[in-house]
Amino acid sequence: MTTRTTAPAGAPCWADLWTSDVEGSRRFYGELLGWEAAEPNPDFGGYFMFMRDGVPVAGGMGDMPDNPAQDLWKVYLATDGIAATVEAASAAGAEVVGPAMPVADLGFQAVLTDPTGAGVGAWQAAAFPGFTTLDEPGAPSWFELFTADFAAATDFYRSVFRWEVRSVSDTDQFRYSVLQPEGSAELAGIMDASAFVAPGASSWSVYWETADVDVAVATVRSLGGQVTSEPTDTPYGRMAAVADPWGATFKLRTGPTG
């Protein structure tokens, strides 16, 4: 288990779901991951929190006026200066989908599309730090960018979010780097997915830890979701890729033991 009070600059610090079925999603993720869903807050357009052991673990939002939900999970990266981050992102070729704005006294957010087509949020914490527990069942355990342009993505996150990147593998068959500040654990990954991701269609994924991936996958199916990649053993645990009944994709992971 990893606990923290604040996220390091550049690290994934929050994830939220934009869903076309709020009530259905509240039930689905509750049964799958053991979350409780707080009531939607009308002061924030109906935004609500998924709670794990009484602590926020993810957010949720339904359709917005004139903007129907796209059924997706969005990952937010921490910044200590959101105005500078948005300016740097724009200069580096990102599209600013949602400009920097305050969220009450909680912090400041912005929404970007990076130069390779992946949607990503930026969060400057004030009263709300994002999630504070990782690597426990029902909590996030990894974050990963599948990109159609590995070099461009790496350059972008280095320059905009000040990533310190370490290469894990650099071959045409498997090219992968991780965000790993000096003296820190690995915080996120970038995978060269150009062999199977179309240009402009890069995407971020969040992995939710589960006590037993196979049981969780069976639960996804029983609740009407889809399994896009069956459980597979890897050096980093047993993993699967799934989608909720409305098409929002995410990953499930049971980390290695021992």
Give the pLDDT band (50/70/90) at residue 33: very high
Residue 65 pLDDT: 84
Residue 182 pLDDT: 78
Tell which residue, 10, 12, 15, 7, has the closest CA to residue 35: 15
Residue 66 pLDDT: 83
Residue 257 pLDDT: 76
Question: Residue 18 pLDDT > 80, yes or no?
Answer: yes
Measure CA 131 to chain center. Answer: 11
Q: What is the pLDDT of residues 154-182, one digit of tens each?
A: 999 999 999 999 999 999 999 999 999 87
Residue 67 pLDDT: 87
Determine the average pLDDT of the residues in 3-25.
95
Angle among Cα 249, 39, 211 to the nearest 5 degrees reads 45
Determine the average pLDDT of the residues in 48-59.
97
237 contacts 245 by C-beta, under 8 angstroms: no
51/4 Cα distance (integer angstroms):
17
Residue 107 pLDDT: 98
Q: What is the pLDDT of residues 84-110, one digit of tens each?
A: 999 999 999 999 999 999 999 999 999
Token pair 């980093």 is at which residue? Answer: 236
Q: What is the pLDDT of residues 215-258, one digit of tens each?
A: 999 999 999 999 999 999 999 999 999 999 999 999 999 998 75
Residue 185 pLDDT: 87
In the chain the domains, ranked by start, together with CATH numbers, are: 2-125 (3.10.180.10)
Residue 24 pLDDT: 98
Residue 258 pLDDT: 55
Q: Does this model's pTM top 0.85?
A: yes
CB atoms within 10 A of CB 218: 13
Could you give the C-alpha distances from 193 to 180, 196, 225, 246, in angstroms and in order? 20, 6, 24, 24
